[in-house]
């Protein structure tokens, strides 16, 4: 990134002010230094030299090397013309420091400043010992202090330039860290919103479906079988109570993040049996088969198993017009397998769900190229745990005697961390 030659107040007006101030300081410094070292102060020598060196500094920001080269030529001309008799390097202190501190890409200032300084000192030594009539000892005594001054000046400018680099790198790292924090916060917010959306969809959708199912059973059996109607109403009330509890726990987590919920939702693989009992009705016979100790499943896997079965059965009750559903859960060999099948109508289910966005990944095993929020939510839960998920018509998965089977199949395979046989 382009940076100014030195760290100065920002803004073009501030830069011009600083350049003007340095020009004045240089002009005054040349006159004061000439007087201090016993040089001649006259209108034809020291005064025009001070003015020329000061005016050149007005372009130091844009052309630091050019300003230094022109300044060296001015000093050389005034010395060789006999118009001044003191100072080869120190009148150009600001020009040398500006070039040495220049840190713009492709314009390394320090090597140029060193080279120009060595050439100027070498020319000064040669001129003093030839045209000036000075002995080598006198030339060394005259130029030794200026050489030391040039070395100290370039060292200070280099340290200043390195400090500018360090500050620029630090600012860049801080900016990058801030951006990464913002991206991470956005990612976590998106994940949290997705989790909340899945939970709300599963809880609310399942509750409304089961309550509606049992209310329909109660309405149909109210006259002929009051006992069956009361049982259906009691089941609907129980499902409603559990849903309220789950939603209350979710709201508590949202209001007080990081704290444990007041009531933990009883959702896991061991509760699948109770889930099946609640959803079983005279119109839908649900059969459950399990193997393995489901209570040993880790909590995330157990919750995913419960939600997959819950959503699959909810879709069956909503869209399939099925008479039978089979739920199978097998736990062993380091993984748990879940499958939910029914004998309902697959087309009604597919056409009734929301379409998948064009950039959303397709669900394996789903040839209809459309999936609802429930199917997408199940797939996300399973894949988050490193498993595989598929949902589609049973025709795409299994056939008997080369004849279509019909119905719908949801299948999930989830690895279980730390499994021990």
pLDDT digits (tens, 9 = 90+) for 171-202: 888 888 888 888 888 888 777 777 777 677 66
| Whether the Cβ atoms of residue 305 and residue 336 lie closer than 8 Å to each other | yes
Span between the terminal Cα atoms of the chain, in Å: 60
pTM: 0.47
pLDDT, residue 234, reads 75
Q: Average pLDDT over the chain, rounded to whole?
A: 76
Half-sphere exposure of 143 (CA within 13 A, CB side): 21
Closest to 166 measured CA to CA, from 158, 178, 177, 156: 158
pLDDT mean over 210-218:
71
Question: What is the band of 270 on the pLDDT scale with cuts at 50, 70, 90?
Answer: confident
Question: What is the band of 347 on the pLDDT scale with cuts at 50, 70, 90?
Answer: low
Which residues neighbour 278 within 8 Å (Cβ) at sequence distance 6 or greater?
210, 235, 238, 239
- Length of the chain, please? 421
Does residue 355 surpass a pLDDT of 60?
no
Maximum average pLDDT range among 63-67, 72-76, 218-222, 409-413:
409-413
Does residue 167 surpass a pLDDT of 80?
yes
Question: What is the band of 249 on the pLDDT scale with cuts at 50, 70, 90?
Answer: low
- Binning the chain into helix, strand and coil, the percentages to the nearest 5 are 60, 10, 25
């Amino acid at each position: 990134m382009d940076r100014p030659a030195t760290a100065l107040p920002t803004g073009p007006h501030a830069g011009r002010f600083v350049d003007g101030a340095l020009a004045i300081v240089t002009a005054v410094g040349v006159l004061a230094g000439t007087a201090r070292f016993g040089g001649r102060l006259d209108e034809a020598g020291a005064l025009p030299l001070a003015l020329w060196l000061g005016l050149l500094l007005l372009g130091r920001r844009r052309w630091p090397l050019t300003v230094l080269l022109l300044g060296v030529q001015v000093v050389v001309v005034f010395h060789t013309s006999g118009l001044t008799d003191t100072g080869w390097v120190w009148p150009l202190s600001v020009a040398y420091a500006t070039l040495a501190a220049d840190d713009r890409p492709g314009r390394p200032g320090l090597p140029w400043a060193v080279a120009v300084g060595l050439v100027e000192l070498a020319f000064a030594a040669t001129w003093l010992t030839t045209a000036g009539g000075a002995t080598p000892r006198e030339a060394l005594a005259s130029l030794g202090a200026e050489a030391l001054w040039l070395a100290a000046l370039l060292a200070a400018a280099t340290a200043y330039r390195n400090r500018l680099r360090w500050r620029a790198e630090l600012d860049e790292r801080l900016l990058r860290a801030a951006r990464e924090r913002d991206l991470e916060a956005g990612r976590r917010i998106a994940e949290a919103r997705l989790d909340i959306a899945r939970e709300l969809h599963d809880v609310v959708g399942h509750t409304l479906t089961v309550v509606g199912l049992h209310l329909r059973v109660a309405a149909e059996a109210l006259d002929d079988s009051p006992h069956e109607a009361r049982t259906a109403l009691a089941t609907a009330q129980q499902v409603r109570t559990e849903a309220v509890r789950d939603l209350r726990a979710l709201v508590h987590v949202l209001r007080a993040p990081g704290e444990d919920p007041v009531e933990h939702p009883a959702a896991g693989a061991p509760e699948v049996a109770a889930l099946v009992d609640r959803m079983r009705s005279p119109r839908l016979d649900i059969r459950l088969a399990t193997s393995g100790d489901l209570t040993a499943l880790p909590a995330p896997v157990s919750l995913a198993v419960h939600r997959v079965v819950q959503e699959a059965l909810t879709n069956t009750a909503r869209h399939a017009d099925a008479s039978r559903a089979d739920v199978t859960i097998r736990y062993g060999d380091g993984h748990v397998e879940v499958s939910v099948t029914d004998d309902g109508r697959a087309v009604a289910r597919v056409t009734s769900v929301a379409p998948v966005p064009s950039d959303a990944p397709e669900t394996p095993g789903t040839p209809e190229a459309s999936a609802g929020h429930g199917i997408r939510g199940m797939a996300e839960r399973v894949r988050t745990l490193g498993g595989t998920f598929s949902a589609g018509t049973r025709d795409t998965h299994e056939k008997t005697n080369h004849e279509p089977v019909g119905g719908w199949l949801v299948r999930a395979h989830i690895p279980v961390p730390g499994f021990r046989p």
